[in-house]
C-alpha cells in the first residue's frame, strides 16, 4: 500500500513552478490506479515523487508504512530495484542494447550474474511473446513491441509496484489498447499494483481508481 501525505514539489531552476501542491492519496496493494489530467498538470512530477525518483519538498510517501524519503539514497535505490518497475512514454530502451540486454539491466543492477540475468530476461520476453526478437535492437522494433519490451524490463525483477507514465502516448490506438491490457494482466494475473498516467480517457476503463490532476492538485473521480 502506498500512502502519500501532503506532498508538494516545486521546480526551482529558473523561475519557480509549483508542479505538485499538497497531494494526499492512498493506493491499495494489488489495485490498478489511473491518473489523468491535462498536459502540464503535474502528472509526471507526481509519479516521480510517488516512485522515489524525486524527493518532494514536503509531505511523505509511505510504502506499507515505510517512509521512502527518510531512507538513505543507497537504501532508496535498493528499494526501487526490489519493489518498483517503470514504464515510460518513450520506452527509454537503451538503443545500444538489444531487447534482451535492456531487459537484463535491472537484474544486473541487482548484481545478478550475467548468465542468470540472461535466462530470466529471456523467460520474461517469452511471456510477452517477443522472445524471438530478443537479439534485435530497439530501432528495429515497432513502438508496440518496444513498449512490451519495456514492460518486460519493468517486471523482470518481480517488483510489487509498476509505474507507467503515459505508456500508450506514442502508440496507435490498437497498440495502446494492447499495452493497457498487458498492464491490467499484470494486476490480474500477477497481483501487481499498477499506477498508470495517461492522456487517454479510454485507457482508464477498468481501473480500480481514477485520479484527476489539475494544476498540481488531485481529485478522485
Partner 1 sequence: MGYAFFVLKKLFRRNAVIYVPIAVNVAVAVILVFVFFTLAFNFSSATDSLYADNLAFYTVNIYSYEGMTAERAAEYADTEGAESCRVAYADTVYAEGLGGSVIPATYCSGDLALLGGEAFAAGGMPESGDEAAVTCSLVYFLGMEPDEAVGLEFTLAEGGESRTCTVAGVLGEAECSGLNAALYSDVLVPGGGDTVACVTLRFTRDADISAAIAGLDEEGADYMSDYRTLDTMRAVYDIISAVMFACGGVLGLLFALGARAAVEYTYKENILLWSLMKTFGGRNSDSFLISLLLTALPVLAGAAAGIGLGALLLAGLSSAQFALWGVPFSVVSAFSAPAVGITAGAGVCVTLLLALMNGYSYGRLDVSAALRYSE
Separation of first and last alpha carbons in the chain: 20
Judged by CB under 8 A, the residue of 22, 31, 69, 97 near partner 1 is 97
> Is 69 an interacting residue with respect to partner 1 (CB under 8 A)?
no
Of 2, 43, 84, 124, the one binding ligand ATP (CB under 6 A) is 43
Q: Is 96 in the site for partner 1 (CB under 8 A)?
A: yes
Choices 20-28, 71-79, 173-181, 203-211; region in contact with partner 1 by CB under 8 A: 71-79
> 129: which 3 cell numbers?
511473446
Span of 79-87, 122-130, 183-191, 206-214 interacting with partner 1 by CB under 8 A = 79-87
Own/partner contacts of 167-173, CB < 8 Å, gap of 24 or more, are: 167/87, 167/88, 167/89, 167/196, 167/198, 168/198, 168/200, 168/203, 169/89, 169/198, 169/199, 170/89, 170/90, 170/91, 170/143, 171/143, 171/144, 171/147, 172/143, 172/144
Cβ-based nearer residue to partner 1, 90 or 219: 90
Residues in contact with partner 1, counted by CB under 8 A, come to a total of 30
Using rule CB under 6 A, residue 44 touches ligand ATP:
yes
**Taking the complex as a whole, how short is the minimal distance between the CB of residue 194 and ligand ATP, in angstroms?**
17
Contact 129, 160 (CB under 8 A): no
148 touches, from partner 1, ligand ATP, Mg ion, none (C-beta below 5 to 8 Å by class): none
- Applying CB under 6 A, among 7, 33, 34, 45 the residue interacting with ligand ATP is 45
Grid cell listed for 115 = 548468465
Reference 127, options 171, 200, 45, 186; nearest CA is 186
Cβ contact 30:202 at 8 Å: no
47: which 3 cell numbers? 509519479
Pair 19, 39: CB distance under 8 Å = no
How near is the Cβ of 14 to partner 1 at its closest, in Å?
13
Nearer to partner 1, 80 or 187 (CB): 80
108 touches partner 1 (CB under 8 A): yes
Sites of contact with partner 1 (CB under 8 A): 44-45, 48, 53-54, 73-74, 77-82, 86, 88, 90, 92, 94, 96-97, 101, 105-106, 108-111, 113-114, 157
Amino acid at each position: 500500500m502506498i500512502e502519500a501525505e501532503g506532498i508538494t514539489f516545486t521546480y526551482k531552476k529558473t523561475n519557480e513552478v509549483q508542479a505538485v501542491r499538497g497531494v494526499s492519496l492512498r493506493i491499495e496493494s494489488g489495485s490498478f490506479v489511473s491518473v489523468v489530467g491535462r498536459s502540464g498538470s503535474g502528472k509526471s512530477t507526481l509519479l516521480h515523487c510517488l516512485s522515489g525518483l524525486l524527493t518532494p519538498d514536503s509531505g511523505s510517501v509511505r510504502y506499507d508504512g515505510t517512509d521512502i524519503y527518510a531512507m538513505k539514497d543507497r537504501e532508496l535505490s535498493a528499494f526501487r530495484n526490489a519493489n518498483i518497475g517503470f514504464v515510460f512514454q518513450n520506452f527509454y530502451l537503451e538503443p545500444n542494447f538489444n531487447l534482451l540486454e535492456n531487459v537484463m539491466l535491472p537484474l544486473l543492477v541487482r548484481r545478478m550474474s550475467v548468465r542468470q540475468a540472461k535466462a530470466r530476461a529471456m523467460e520474461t520476453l517469452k511471456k510477452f511473446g517477443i522472445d524471438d526478437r530478443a537479439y534485435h535492437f530497439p530501432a528495429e522494433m515497432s513502438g508496440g513491441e518496444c513498449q512490451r519490451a519495456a514492460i518486460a524490463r519493468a517486471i523482470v525483477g518481480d517488483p510489487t509496484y509498476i509505474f507507467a507514465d503515459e505508456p500508450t502516448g506514442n502508440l496507435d490506438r490498437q497498440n495502446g489498447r494492447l499495452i493497457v491490457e498487458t498492464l491490467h494482466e499484470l494486476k490480474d494475473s500477477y497481483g501487481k499494483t499498477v499506477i498508470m498516467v495517461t492522456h487517454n480517457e479510454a485507457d482508464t476503463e477498468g481501473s480500480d481508481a481514477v485520479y484527476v490532476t489539475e494544476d498540481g492538485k488531485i481529485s478522485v473521480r
